[in-house]
Structure 1
Amino acid sequence: MTTSIEAPPDPSLPAAPSGVARDGQGSDFARLSRRISEAGLLRRRPGYYTLRFSLIGLAFVATWTAFFALGDSWWQLGVAVLLGLVFGQGALVAHDLAHRQVFSKRRPSEIGGMIVGNVGIGMSYGWWMNKHTRHHANPNHEELDPDVSPDILVWSQDQARASKGLPRFMGRHQAKLFFPLLTLEGFNLHISSVRALRAPHMKKRLLEGGLLLAHIAGYLTALFMVMPVGMAFAFLFLHQAVFGVYLGSIFAPNHKGMPMLKGNARPDFLRKQVLTSRNVRGGWFVDNAMGGLNYQIEHHLFPNMPSPHLGQAQVIVRDYCAEIDVPYHETGLIESWREALRHLDEVGAPIREGDSEPDRVAA
């Protein structure tokens, strides 16, 4: 069962020390950071990102060209699947831009993020940036990480016990419902982006709102201008379903089922990031399909590291974690999904047990 780290920390996990390195050369993370920097893994990769942006841009243009060329044809459902994958790759590029992996300065990163995010795929750059920054600061912390806040699903047994309404209803069988629910995640990203325009943290709400409106208007106009209403709706739902499942399949393995933090638990930076993250093996295909996020441990330790360097960094980080006795978890893609689903099933146990309590009393 997934461990929850409270204050004091769970004794089944390594203690959360001050992080002072054993050789007296500063914190454990500072020593690791020096090794990474000396290996040149924080330098920018303009050539790589130029090629990656070009390929995704060409895929985007080619898919929409095929869409307009096919017109009123049920072959459009194949285009919808392809476009869902292209949107997913676009989201991964927006992620790298937000972390300043592509440009070192804020302004070009923000401009690129809005072009790819708001205009290209209909996801607010400012909303996602705020949410993702809070996640990186406190991954898997029940009170501080927005990615594990109880919404439709619950992520810990304490959340399950306190759940009411829809989360309680869904939590009974959330492991079985997880992938079906991901078919709605694409819609959720668009709706959350629009709703966030009223949030105080949105500094450029008029600009972002205008760009989102341009995306939505252009997207819906294209669908209903080219295809009959029924086919347009079929395209819409299939496209967004593929987009949602693709993104969910990338992000769910990263932290779900790893130790949870709560209360005043404050491991040092290195342990907080390593203990709550999971790496996914798989070679060239997984590296590209997941945009480098399969190296989640390295990404959380060095979020502005260009994604093509993460694989090289893994060797250094994994060896260093062994050196300082910090558990380092990695597994295959399918097993990562199993671990995440197993966690969701265990989390829902208190709800199922509560539902069966009257039967046991009656017996």
Structure 2
Amino acid sequence: MTSTRHDSTDTAKRPPGSDFARLTQEIKAAGLLDRRLGYYFARMTINALLLGAIAVTFVLLGDSWWQLLTAAVLAVASTQLAFIGHDAGHRQIFRSHRNNNVVGHLHGGLTGISYQWWVAKHNRHHANPNHEDHDPDIEIHALAFSRAQATTKHGVYSWITKHQAFLFFPLLLAEAAMLRISGLVALCRNELRNPWREAALQILPLAGYLTAVFLVLSPVKAVVFIVVHQGLMGVYLGCSFAPNHKGMPIIAAGERLDHLHKQVLTSRNVTGGRWVDALLGGLNHQIEHHLYPHMPRPNLRYAQPLVEDFCARHGIPYSKTTLRHSYAQVLRHLHDAGAPLRHPAS
């Protein structure tokens, strides 16, 4: 993947005595870049069993409003599948580019997110996190992540940005649908390689999903089931990614930082035990993930104290906080960014 190539290429270009090279030596000596196939096979088996249980429950319950609970559980399962697709996109699972792609495309089809479109977008984010000119994750029509961005909003986007701290979580209800739509738009614009394969991976699973829902449920229940499933999946995805960079320093246009500082200064870790790792798919170790995108997910928690200690020894600010405080920081930042629209200069 592009992000992995970017990381390895940058590493090769850095002088042997650079800070990042010394940190990488410590990481490699600890075996933290080694593959963890057993972990991923176990995780994928659990996900497959969960999907199977959801399918059986869906059929047995039939045309019942209790299916909304099934939709909620399916939202959790879908997000966990998306985490596996994310890891495959970074070549965390296999060394083989092809094998990671097979897993990634499969999980993309199951979640409705175009794997090829998402990987290209996500790699641009990893190359330049929180960069005003290059990070697609801070180029969102309805949100502003700096006061300067807020002043560029017009019409309905201006109103949303003005109140974005209060609207942030409700807006996440549309996140899963927007990811699905973005992949379909890229397909229609002929922006994806092998468009027939991409069409099959996006359209056939969607057709099967809609057919199953409308066959088992009445039209009203079917629509509500889809809204609950996609809405909660969007909230879960958004709550997993939002704490990582939102509210962290923005790199101004034209500003350049070396890889180590760029990734550490713009990222935030979320503290907690293994339950947080499972809940957020390992994305709570965002600093370590951005420094080593190809590091397998279960190794991130072991890399964390090494990276934090290294940053302390070299005077590099290392940000970490609890899950609750991370959301508070995000909302405070969004509220501040929208200030020019609430209090325009006279």
- Structure 2 counterparts to residues 178-189 of structure 1, below 5 A: 178-189=168-179
- Tell me if structure 2 keeps the 8 A contact 1:140–1:261: yes
Identity value in percent: 48
Distance between the aligned counterparts of 2:294 and 2:125, measured in 1? Answer: 15
Question: 1:150·1:159 contact (CA, 8 Å) conserved in 2?
Answer: no
* Aligned position for 2:5: none
Mapped partners of 2:247, 2:161: distance in 1: 15
| Aligned position for 1:75 | 66
| Partner-residue secondary structure (3-state), 1:219 | helix
SS at match of 2:270: strand
Matches within 5 A, 1:216-295: 216-295=206-285
The structural deviation recorded for 1:166 is: 2.7
Question: Max radius of gyration: which structure?
Answer: 1
Residue of structure 1 in register with 2:89 after alignment: 98
The alpha carbon displacement at 1:128 in A equals 0.3
Match of 1:54 among 14, 36, 45: 45
Structure 1 residues 147-198: Cα deviation after superposition (integer angstroms, max 9, x where no partner): 0013111111111012112321101100000000111111111111101114
**Quick one: distance in 2 between partners of 1:312 and 1:265?**
32
Deviation at 1:241, TM superposition (A): 0.9
Number of the residue aligned with 1:34: 25
Contact 1:76–1:235 (Cα < 8 Å) also in 2: yes
| Number of the residue aligned with 1:209 | 199
2:165 equivalent in structure 1: 175
CA distance in 1 between partners of 2:248 and 2:191 (Å): 29
AA aligned to 1:238 is V
Superposed, 1:323-362 pairs within 5 Å as 323-354=313-344
Using the alignment, how far apart are the partners of 2:59 and 2:135 within structure 1? Answer: 42
The root-mean-square deviation of aligned C-alpha atoms, in Å, is 1.4
In 2, Cα distance between equivalents of 1:166 and 1:326? 40
Residues 201-210 or 104-113, more deviating: 201-210
How far apart are residue 75 of structure 1 and its match? 0.7
In the other structure, the counterpart of 2:300 is: 310
With over 3 angstroms needed to count, the CA separation of the structure-2 counterparts of 1:199 and 1:133, relative to structure 1, is farther
- Displacement of 1:26 in angstroms is 2.0
Classify the secondary structure of the residue corresponding to 1:260. coil
CA distance in 2, matches of 1:163, 1:41: 44
**Is residue 337 of structure 2 the alignment partner of residue 320 of structure 1?**
no
Deviates more, 1:89-98 or 1:166-175: 166-175
Q: Which runs of 5+ in 1 are unaligned?
A: 1-19
Q: Does 1:157 align with 2:147?
A: yes
| Conserved? CA contact 1:127–1:193, under 8 Å | yes
Aligned partners of 1:85 and 1:246 also within 8 Å: yes
Where does structure 1 differ by over 3 angstroms across 4 or more consecutive aligned residues?
Answer: 198-201
Structure 2: distance between partners of 1:167 and 1:300: 30
Q: Within 1, Cα distance between the matches of 2:189 and 2:260?
A: 32
How many Å separate the matches in 2 of 1:350 and 1:103?
47
- Change beyond 3 A, Cα 1:212–1:296: same
Instruction: Specify every segment of 5 or more residues in structure 2 that has no aligned partner in the other structure, as ranges.
Output: 1-12
Q: Secondary structure at the match of 2:178?
A: helix
CA deviation map 1:236-266 (0-9, x unaligned): 1001111000000000000000000121111
The 5-angstrom pairing of residues 5-154 of structure 1 reads: 25-118=16-109, 120-154=110-144
Distance 1:65 1:189 in 2: 27
Cα distance in 1 for partners of 2:213, 2:268 equals 39
Alpha-carbon offset, residue 199 of structure 1 = 4.6
What residue number does 1:4 align with? Answer: none
TM-score, length basis structure 1: 0.90
Alpha-carbon distance in structure 2 between the residues aligned to 1:229 and 1:201 = 34
Deviation at 1:133, TM superposition (A): 0.2
User: What secondary structure is seen at the aligned counterpart in 2 of 1:203?
Assistant: coil
Matched AA of 1:306: P
Displacement of 1:146 after TM fit? 0.2
Distance in 1 (CA, whole Å) between partners of 2:62 and 2:179 is 27
| 1:200 Cα offset (Å) | 5.5
Letter in 1 for 2:41: T
SS of the equivalent of 2:121 reads helix
